[in-house]
Structure 1
Amino acid sequence: MALSGASIVDAKILTLANSMALDVFYIQDVNGHAYDGGERIERLKRRIGDAAMGRLHPGRELRAQVARTTSSRTRMFRVPPRVIFDNRASAGHTVIEVNGRDRPGFLYDVTSTLTALGVQIVSAHISTYGERVVDVFYVKDVFGLKIDQPQKLERLEKQLFDAILPPEERSADAPANDDAEAAE
């Protein structure tokens, strides 16, 4: 969506019992206005379809777009990144909350990281408050269980923390969240 100039301000993402995903996104343009207009919507639909069919490589293209479009004004806002785990909030899921500075590709980087680490996203609640993103994920491991092993939580925290940092602040050994890496 970010590649088409859309910014996600809210979203509800659910995985149904039959493994189908139901995703509802509330979007606006990068200037905070309604994302309207026939051609813009059509371009957005095409890009989503291309990504779903593997004809578009969002990771690489997003990194290039972020480098070109992230303004120095936006970089002035310091939003401390946070990753919080809660295994008591839900009987059957680990709850992960990630906070950081909004930027194109933020949600993509988080979900790519979770997927690459074998985490199943059952439900996601995405919110944007000005420059701050607050995303909450209800997740399970590959066996459908809560993630409660300390070493797995530590690895998840490190990888997610690197994913939510702005690209210019990431550690040198952080994965690039490229499409090829997410497929491994």
Structure 2
Amino acid sequence: MTTGFANRRGLVIAGVIAALTVAVIADLHGFRQVAVDADAPRASAQLPEIRFEDGDGAPRTLADFHGRVVLLNLWATWCVPCRKEMPSLDRLQATLGGPGFEVVALSIDNSTQAVRDFYREYGIGRLAIYIDPSTRVTDTLGAVGIPTTVLVDRDGRERWRRVGPAEWDAPEMVEQLREAVEAGTAGATNHDKS
């Protein structure tokens, strides 16, 4: 009896240690999936240079979108909340995408093929493929978890950010983003916090 209890106790302790080890390693690498409400108007300082690649491996920067309002979404194919919100981002791009607005879904996956496979599996057809396999963008933006979404105005200034998933194509969100596009995001800080 004592041996069985000791074995179970040892397994429980080993499980707790393993879980804590995984959590610490994930935290050290910046891969926390946070569902906090970090929605807040941001100072309209110019964002730092953000470098990434398109689906063909060509270098891109956020400055390539100057003149458009950009909804920059940091995500990964292995992130469960990200996977759930990607179809709504695709529908948002279908609704609002054009010369004045673009959803830039920037994956921190290691391979473009993983993103292509994900897009195919989930029927994502309107979002371009953008990838930062170095994951430097998370440090550059000070992202505390993924998904992190940043509204960027036409001049490359951050207007607000959200940490955690959202229904980006919900009618009230579409209306608020439409108003932000029409205003160039001047003063557009009110958005869905659900």
More strand by share: 1
Shorter-chain TM band: under 0.3
Q: Which has the higher contact order (CA 8 A, sep 6+)?
A: 2
Scaled by the length of structure 1, the TM-score of the pair is: 0.27
Scaled by the length of structure 2, the TM-score of the pair is: 0.26
Q: Which has the larger radius of gyration?
A: 2
